[in-house]
Structures are given as structure tokens and as C-alpha cells.
Structure 1
Amino acid sequence: MKIYTLHKKQNLPIPLKEAWQFLSDPANLKTITPDYMGFNILSGADREMYPGQIIQYIVTPVMGIKTKWVTEITHVRDNEYFVDEQRFGPYALWHHKHFIKEIEGGVEMEDIIDYKIPLGWLGQLVHPILVKPKLEEIFSYRKEKLEELFGVYQG
């Protein structure tokens, strides 16, 4: 059973409170997801984030195949972190930790995603060709979009 980890950090030149308000609002996920993914929230994003919140999405990650994705927000510490875990969707495991902290001149965002591909050895074969590059592409888009929205951190 192979579990992969994707680890990303990004600094933004905005106050902690503003960053938290944007990042912890599930409705904003559509804004920072590539359009071709057909990201659409079906339910659960109508209130402020809380532990136990179930959010249902439709995404089209590969070859126009629509996939229902259900996540649960399992942990929330305001202005510090939240965790979402896939309950149903394309991964055998998806555990995504979102950390945010104040730094000089802005905030540091950190994403740590532990995930497992379904289909055993076949999933492991397609991981380096399909899954990992797609995740890298999505997070590159997210980085660019956040910089477009909030500016480039100058340090």
C-alpha cells in the first residue's frame, strides 16, 4: 500500500485574517481551481467552516469524466489550520492539511496532502504519468491564481 505526499508552500502579502477568510471558505475553491476541472459545489458550503462539515462537489479531473467528490472538514483551528478528508471520490485516501501562519509582510500557506491511488499496482503505475503531474498542475494554477488575486510576496 503506497501512500504519496504532496507538500506545497506559498507566501502571500496579505494579513492573516484576510487569508483565513478566503482560504477557509469552501466556495472560494472554485476560484483557485482550473476551469477545465469543471469544479462545482453541490452542497455543504453554505456556512462558515466547522468540524464535521460535509461538502459535495463534482469535478472533471481527467478526460471529461465527471466525478463526485465528498469531503469532510475534520479539524478546524481558526486562523491556523483546517483538514479535509475525502469520504467518497477518486482516491483510496485523501487527507489534506491546510496550515496558515503570519510571517513578516504577509502569510505562509502550507498544504500537506497524503493520498493513495486506487487499483493497487495499476494505480502505482499511472501515478507518475497521470496523477502526480495533474496534482502539480492544479497546485501551480492555484499558486498563480492566488498571486493574481492577492499579489506576489516580496519577503
Structure 2
Amino acid sequence: MSFYQFYKEQILHTSIEELWEFISSPIKLKEITPKYMGFDITSDLIERKMYPGMIICYKVSPVLGIKTTWVTEITQVRDNCYFVDEQRVGPYSIWHHQHIIEPLPNGVIMKDIISYQPPLGFLGAIANKLFIKSKLNEIFEYRRKVLDLRFNASKMKEKITPTP
């Protein structure tokens, strides 16, 4: 059975508190997921902030528009630092996603580390090579653009706009 890790990082020109406020809300997941994936949270999220033990159920269409049920559990949370989600029901044999944020002198670095194992042994390894890894890259590129627009666009404009 093949096991993989996927790593992405992004620098955002915002405060730890502002970024944490955004990423620690499960409701925001839809905003940072490509529209074609048909991402819909199906659990009744009374709590707006993540906490250890929180279960999030959703439907998503990652391949060929086929709706898949995905259930994740938030297993660890340290406010303004990190949280971890793990798949409980879904397409992978193993899915462990670390979301880490750290301060920088002029912003925040956000790191995503996904450890995963596709199902079906060697067929999963072939699927990873053919489309899973590239699909993850595509999803995180979309996420990068959304977060850049949300947190970096106004800061970039401030740097470019001359002061009178």
C-alpha cells in the first residue's frame, strides 16, 4: 500500500488572529473549495468554531461529478497555531491534514501537510500518479488564489498606491 504526503505553504499579509478567525470556521470551507467540486456541508454546525472532537459531514464531487460523502473529525486544535482534521468516512484509506499558521514579521505563513493513502492498494498508487496528486495541487492553487484575494489584495494595493 502506498502512502503519500502533500505539502503547501502560503504567505499572507494579515494577523494570526484574522487568519485564524477565517480558517477555524468550518463554514468557510466552501469558500476556499473550487465550485466544480459541489462542496456542501451536510452536518448541522451549531458551533461556528472548530474544537477537538467536532465531526463535519459534507458532500463533495472530486471526480467526474460523482457525489461522495466525506466525514472528518477535528482531532487537535491549538488556537492561533494549528488544527488537524482526519477523515472518518470518505474516499481515502488514510487522510490526516495538518493546518499550521506561524507569525512572520509582516504577516503569517500558513502550511498544509496532508498525509494520505488512497484505497485499493496498487490501483490507488496508479490513481495517485494519474490524478490524485494533480487534483490536490489544483485544489490548493484555487485556495491560494482565494486567500490571496481575501488577505493580500488590499495590502498589495496599499504598497503600490503612492501617498500624496
DSSP-derived class of the 1:62 partner = coil
Corresponding residue for 2:26? 26
DSSP-derived class of the 1:91 partner = coil
Corresponding residue for 1:45? 45
**What is the percent sequence identity of the aligned residues?**
53
| Alignment TM-score, normalising by the size of structure 1 | 0.96
2-structure distance, mates of 1:7, 1:45: 28
| Alignment TM-score, normalising by the size of structure 2 | 0.91
2-structure distance, mates of 1:104, 1:126: 41
1-structure distance, mates of 2:74, 2:17: 20
Query: Runs in 1 of length 4+ with deviation above 2 angstroms?
Result: none
Change beyond 3 A, Cα 1:149–1:94: same
2-structure distance, mates of 1:45, 1:8: 28
Contact kept in structure 2, 1:94 and 1:115, CA below 8 Å? yes
Contact kept in structure 2, 1:76 and 1:82, CA below 8 Å? yes
Corresponding residue for 1:71? 72
1:45 is displaced (CA, Å) by 3.2
Contact kept in structure 1, 2:40 and 2:59, CA below 8 Å? yes
Corresponding residue for 2:83? 82
DSSP-derived class of the 2:5 partner = strand
Change beyond 3 A, Cα 1:7–1:31: same
Contact kept in structure 2, 1:58 and 1:66, CA below 8 Å? yes
Letter in 1 for 2:142: Y
**Greater displacement, 124-133 / 74-83:** 124-133
Aligned pairs (5 A) from 1:3-152: 3-47=3-47, 48-151=49-152
Letter in 1 for 2:33: T
The structure with the greater share of residues assigned to strand is 1
Larger Rg: 2
What's the CA shift string for 1:30-50, capped at 9, x where partnerless? 000000000000115331211
**Greater displacement, 77-86 / 124-133:** 124-133
DSSP-derived class of the 2:18 partner = helix
Contact kept in structure 2, 1:44 and 1:53, CA below 8 Å? no
Contact kept in structure 2, 1:25 and 1:45, CA below 8 Å? no
Corresponding residue for 2:162? none
